[in-house]
Each structure stands twice: as structure tokens, then as C-alpha cells.
Amino acid sequence: MRPTFSHTLRSCAAVLIASAALTAADGPSFGMSLQWRPTSTLSETTERIELMPFVNVKVGMKPLVDQRKDKTFVGENREKSYSRYVTTTDDVPALLTSRVLDLMKEAGLPISDKVEGANIVLTGEILRYGVTETQTYKGELRLLLEIHSGDKSVWKGVVVGRASRFGRSYKPDNYQEVLSDVVVEAVSRMLSDQTFLRVLSGKAMVVPIPAAN
């Protein structure tokens, strides 16, 4: 029996749909909304913090400032002869600020996004946030942080969170997990730095520049 015109149209539509799916998964770029999917918790990577120095201390955190050249970039696949990119239209500084705040609160620190009336104010800039995929997914969050007491800057340094994992090539879920894990790692490194904690509690007034590695 000869195929009908409607049958031919359905077949063509199926081919077009399959082609579109392949292009979306294997094309030069795809966009995604950032989701919070860490594979580890702060308590697993950070020792318990001594909170007594923070009694009667209020820490305020201002929104992070995005200093990245391409503010939509969050990932890149380099497995082929050309790069394939992962982008987002989400407000990255707002999301990272919120997640850093939540993790620091989870650790028990008296910190909020309210700077009015705060003894100490934490500010920061996003220098890098993204994942590079070759044979593995490797992500990095690089923040330039500064602690202020009154109108004085009392500490400034770079904090870096890194994470890596194996996974199927060019998959959104893998990018989401690594992009989340680098935030947990960055906060873990912050809270493992005793100088940072002493200055944040107002008990030390120094200006070290921590190593970024």
C-alpha cells in the first residue's frame, strides 16, 4: 500500500523532532536555569566552628558583584574540535549571594543580607564561575572577598572553590552538580581559614592576602 500524504507528513515531523533533539543536546550551546544540586554537604567538608567569638556580633553581607566578562557563561565542553557552551540568563550574583549566605548560616554564623546595624560587613566580587569539560567536569568559583569594620577594610583575599566529577558528556545535570559543589567548597575553605573567622568576628584587624590555590 502506498503511504498517504498524512503518513508522509507524520514521518517528516518525526524526523524533524529527532533532529531538533539532537541539535539541542549536541549543538554549539545550550542554556539552563541554575539549580541547587550539591553532591556533598558543608558539614561533611568543614569542621565545627567555634561560635563564642561571634556572640554579640552581627555580620551583614552585601550582594556579590559579577566581574566576569561574559555574565551568561557557566560552562564549556572542549571534547570536540570546537567548543560547546553552557549559558544561563539567571541572576548569577543574586543566586551565589543567597547560597553563600545560606551555607554560612547553616554553619551557625550570625550573618544576614542586612548591613544596617551590622558590626562587620562582608563584600565580594565574582571573578570566575564555571565548568570546563574535557574528559571530566572541572568547575571553579573564584571570589575576591573583603571584610569591613566601620569605614575600614580589615581583610581582603581570594577564596577558591573547586570540584570535579566524571559523567556522561555534555549533560546539564553534571554541570548543575559541579556548579553547586564549587559553592560548597568555597564556603568550606572560607570557614576553615582561622584568620578569616577571627577578622569576621571582629577579634582581629589584619589585612592578609590568602593564597588562591
Q: What's the per-residue H, E or C state across the chain?
A: CCCCHHHHHHHHHHHHHHHHHHHHHHCCEEECCCCCCCCCCHHHHCCCCCCHHHCCCCEEECCCEECCCCCCEEEEECCCCCCEEEECCCCHHHHHHHHHHHHHHHCCCCEECCCCCCCEEEEEEEEEEEEEECCCEEEEEEEEEEEEECCEEEEEEEEEEEEEECCCCCCHHHHHHHHHHHHHHHHHHHHCCHHHHHHHCCCCCCCCCCCCC
Is residue 164 a contact partner of residue 136, using CB atoms and an 8 Å limit? yes
pLDDT score for 29: 87
Which residues, other chains included, contact 91 with Cβ-Cβ below 8 Å and sequence gap of 6+? none
Tell me how far apart the alpha carbons of residues 92 and 172 are, in angstroms, rounded to a whole number: 17
Taking the CA atoms of residue 14, residue 18, residue 20 and residue 26 in that order, the dihedral angle to the nearest 10 degrees is -170
Residue-wise pLDDT for 153-167, tens only, equals 999 999 999 999 999
Which residues, other chains included, contact 213 with Cβ-Cβ below 8 Å and sequence gap of 6+? 160
pTM value?
0.83
Q: Residue 199 is placed in which grid cell?
A: 577578622
pLDDT score for 27: 56
Residue-wise pLDDT for 45-92, tens only, equals 899 999 999 999 999 999 999 999 999 999 999 988 888 999 999 999
**Architecture of the domain made up of 29-200:** 3-Layer(aba) Sandwich (3.40)
pLDDT score for 15: 38
Tell how strand 120-133 and strand 137-149 pair up.
antiparallel
Give 211's pLDDT tier (boundaries 50, 70, 90). low
Mean pLDDT of the chain: 87
Angle at 94 between CA 160 and CA 112, to 5 degrees: 85
